[in-house]
Structure 1
Amino acid sequence: MRSSEGGSPSSGVSRSAVVVGAGIGGLTAAVALRRIGWHVTVLERATAIATVGAGLSLWPNAVRVLALLDLDEAVASHAVSAVIRANMRNPNGRWVRHAHPCDVKVLVVHRADLHQVLRGALPQEALRTDATVVAVTEKDGEKDGAQDRVTVTYESQGARQEVTADLVVAADGIDSAIRRQLWPDHPVARFQRRTIWRGVTEPDGVWPITESLTLGRGAQFGLLPLTDHRVYWFLVVNADQPGQGYGDEHAEVRRRVDGWHDPIPVLVEATRPDRVLHNDNFDLDPLPTFVHGRTVLLGDAAHAMTPDLGQGGCQAIEDAVVLADALLTNRDLSGALASYDQQRRTRAQAVAAAARQSNARNCNDSAVAYAMTNLVAQLTPQGLWRKLTAEWSTWTPPTALRTGASRRRT
């Protein structure tokens, strides 16, 4: 592919990108790319952006990115500061570990609220819904004297349409259609022998809620406060195979936590059945590259991971700002994408591997493993505990994005 200049505010060249997928990663990428002066179109296959989902933990690494994009205050207004994996109990209610003032705090936000903040940072015309991508096609400018471009073909309202740009950002999730097209030999997502229920409720008479993680054998139940007296809970259990449905998912969760300490049964009971989400835990084996020509993978499309470390959404947010920074600081587009690829594969694949290892440990439901987990949680010194639980949150985003965007606005 021929080298081409662009991405720098000083170049005077207007560049364009198509972001496929209006999830957290895709929208953050759109915001970051617009911040460096790119024209961005976001294609989302859903016919409407619905306020669905459950809670999401934003660790300090993701919060730093939001601050870089001047979105931290808006997100914080919808979030609750909490300590993750510091208050730990057994199903009978016995405390295994209590939070310490030195524990790392995270922002807990409803996914729909974060989504709303990100959408609000984009012009309405930048987002096209009911747009199902069917193909990505590279155009070699050396053959016809035009600039190298990439065309996205999508279906909307029964008709096929096209949009052409300098770059495609594939943020279309773990089952990415673009990854299947451009990386056809890569294995599909791998089931990691765990399944998870999530819910959000507004309980009466049990507020305030202290964030906690309850450890059962082969099961974990988490409680996290949200704004407006809402509570986000999740139940993770071992599963032999994916796709196991229970008809009444709400009733299944109630059955599994029957007899567990308060307020777990009360919170589950108070949750509307239509707010109980059930998903299996899948992740991706490491890809050899996140870049194919002028197409880059981002978020779950590139490095889907199990939720054990709470870093899935955080890593997608990191991807977005590193991509924008690479495009800002490299005049050569291929060099920018190579920089993004090197930085993000090194970082995100290491986090995904650590999450997979944590998932494997949590799957061990033997009595000995359960006893050892409790003992480690009780006896680990505070400094080491902080390091172990917050190891991946110390990352800081590149600073050129703020400098370049500020220079562009003046």
Structure 2
Amino acid sequence: MKTAIVVGAGIGGVAAALGLERAGLRVTVLERAPELGEVGAGISVWPSAVKALEELGVEGVEKAAVESAPAGMRRPDGRWVLRAEALGVEVPVMIHRARLHELITERFQGVSVRTGVTVDGFVDGAVRAGGEEFRADLIVAADGLRSVVRRALYPAYDGPRYAGYAAYRGIADIEVDDGGGETWGRGRRFGFARLIDGRYYWYATENRAPGVVGADVWAGFGSWHDPIPKLLEATGEVLQNDIYDLRLPLVPFVQGNVVLLGDAAHAMTPNLGRGACTAIEDAAALPKHLKNLKAYDAERRPAATKLVRVSRTIGRVGQLDSGLLCGIRDGAITLGGKLAGVRARKRAVGQSPV
């Protein structure tokens, strides 16, 4: 039986391990955390990722999640820029990251997971961790934005790029009569959606220099429209991190018997809510290309590159801090939404959208 090592046990890593096990490989997962699991808050799972999970044999995602309501976009004072009900766009389901991780790992049959293992090098085809060497027929680097394996394979690649803003995330245990959506201000954004257990997942972004810790979320968003202050008040722990993506062009996802997957291959800003979904789609694609790994690169790198670029562009527009430019932005989004709504209604009645 052929063997595989997966470096990293985040959502992409465990999805890849599951897919490879189902393809007949003996899989070992190396994870630096002391326990197997996932931290964080909510996550959007788009239809394409739900389909990929089904291909991997993961069931129950939609039962453990709630469909997001396409509520639209508002200004900080609560005025609507765009109501999304009539756009006819696909919507994701919202699920807690930890629950999605559980749904994947519950499907493991014989995957060996070694926790507390910090990979510190990759030399001569071997993964090195704490003086040990790990070798396999296939090595999958799912070790995140600052991937040790990627740096070893492509030492000249600059890698992560700071996007210019930070993100906050939290879970609010509260009942509110609001469908959610996003609110865009000057250099700041706030979004929220309901989870299936009735709690609300929220996220926010704010322009600032990297490395600032302990920022006051209330200072930036406490005066925004309801229910944003209520969500902040009902939140316990607030997660905070600077936002990075990978520089373009992305490096090849395959070198020899080594495959890059998830953030190690294509870390993107969270503006599309597609980062983990793209990692899941990587994991579903990989078992199909085990006889020709370059085909995996040919399928996944162009798709991921497009998402990195589009997500970066949305972030730049969303984080504008000029009052004039924000006004132009909001007006353009309102007009674009109206035109998209007209096209959606025409499609619904079988007319040509043009």
CA 1:99 to 1:30, structure 2 compared with 1: closer, same or farther past 3 Å? same
Separation of aligned partners in 2, 1:387 and 1:176: 43
CA contact (8 A) 1:214 1:220 kept: yes
Name 1:23's counterpart in structure 2: 10
Count of aligned pairs between the two proteins: 342
1:260 to 190, 206, 224: 224
Q: Which residue of 1 aligns with 2:234?
A: 270
C-alpha contact 1:209 1:231 (8 A) present in aligned 2: no
The superposition leaves residues 175-233 of structure 1 with CA deviations (integer Å, 9 ceiling, x where unpaired) of 11111222111103110111111101212xx3354121111111110011112111100
Q: What secondary structure is seen at the aligned counterpart in 2 of 1:133?
A: coil
2:57–2:107 contact (8 Å) kept in structure 1 = no
Which is worse superposed, 280-289 or 17-26?
Answer: 280-289
Alignment partner of 1:132 is 2:101 = no
Q: For 2:92, which of 106, 125, 135 is the aligned residue?
A: 106
Matching residue within 241, 246, 254 for 1:279: 241
Which position in structure 1 is the counterpart of 2:41?
A: 54
2:56 paired residue among 66, 69, 74: 69
Counterpart AA for 2:296:
Y
Give the letter for the 1:129 counterpart. T
* 1:75 alignment partner, SS class: coil
Which AA in structure 1 matches 2:211? G
Query: 1:301 deviation in Å?
Result: 0.5
AA paired with 1:300?
Answer: D
The 8 Å contact of residues 166 and 207 in structure 2, kept in 1 or not, is answered as: yes
Asked if the contact 1:83–1:104 (Cα under 8 Å) also holds between the matched residues in 2, the reply is: no
Instruction: Give secondary structure in 2 for the equivalent of 1:213.
Output: strand
Q: CA deviation at 1:318?
A: 1.2
Alpha-carbon distance in structure 2 between the residues aligned to 1:290 and 1:270: 42
The 2-side partners of 1:322 and 1:189 are apart by 25
CA separation of 1:386 and 1:153: change in aligned 2, threshold 3 A: farther
Q: Identity, % of aligned pairs?
A: 41
Alignment of 1:35-184 (within 5 A): 35-71=22-58, 73-84=59-70, 86-100=71-85, 102-123=88-109, 126-138=112-124, 150-155=125-130, 160-184=131-155
SS at match of 1:237: strand
Q: Which residue of 2 aligns with 1:295?
A: 258
Q: Residue 242 of structure 1 corresponds to which residue in structure 2? A: 210
Q: Partners of 1:227 and 1:153 in 2: how far apart?
A: 41
Note the C-alpha offset of 1:96.
2.0
Instruction: Name the counterpart of 1:229.
Output: 198
Q: What is the CA–CA distance in structure 2 between the aligned matches of 1:61 and 1:307, rounded to whole Å?
A: 17
**Counterpart in the other structure of 2:351:** none
SS in 2 for 1:380: helix
For the residue of structure 2 that corresponds to 1:372, the secondary structure is helix
Q: Tell me the amino acid that sits aligned with residue 321 of structure 1.
A: A
State which of 202, 220, 228 in structure 1 corresponds to 2:189: 220
Q: In 1, Cα distance between the equivalents of 2:259 and 2:60?
A: 28
Match of 2:159 in 1: 188
Equivalent residue letter for 1:151? A
1:387: how far off? 9.7
Question: One-letter code of the match for 1:197?
Answer: Y
Shift of 1:109: 0.9
**Any idea what SS the aligned residue of 2:158 has?**
coil
Q: Aligned partner of 2:284: which letter?
A: V
One-letter amino acid of the structure 2 residue matched with residue 118 of structure 1:
I
d(CA) in 2 for partners of 1:387, 1:136: 52
> Which of 278, 299, 309 does residue 272 from structure 2 map onto?
309
User: SS of the residue aligned with 1:313?
Assistant: helix
Structure 1 equivalent of residue 349 of structure 2:
none
* Letter aligned with residue 201 of structure 1: A
Inter-partner Cα distance in structure 1 for 2:337 and 2:313: 22
Q: What is the CA RMSD across the aligned residues, in angstroms?
A: 2.1
Secondary structure of the residue aligned to 2:119 is strand
Q: Is contact 2:74–2:183 with CA below 8 Å preserved after alignment?
A: yes
> Which has the greater radius of gyration?
1
Partner amino acid for 2:185?
Answer: G
Shift of 1:82: 0.5
Give SS of 1:56's match. Answer: strand
Unaligned runs of 5+ in 1: 1-13, 139-149, 331-335, 389-410
Task: Please state whether the residue corresponding to 1:342 is helix, strand or coil.
Answer: helix
Contact 1:103/1:386 (CA < 8 Å) preserved in 2?
Answer: no
Counting helix residues as a fraction of each chain, which structure ranks higher?
1
Q: Which amino acid aligns with 1:207?
A: V
CA contact (8 A) 1:83 1:103 kept: no
User: Does the CA-based 8 Å contact 2:168-2:239 persist in structure 1?
Assistant: yes
In 2, are the aligned partners of 1:207 and 1:229 still within 8 Å (CA)? Answer: no
Q: CA deviation at 1:137?
A: 3.9
Distance 1:387 1:265, change over 3 A: farther
User: Offset at 1:70?
Assistant: 2.9
1:192 maps to a residue whose letter is A
User: Partner of 2:35: helix, strand, or coil?
Assistant: coil
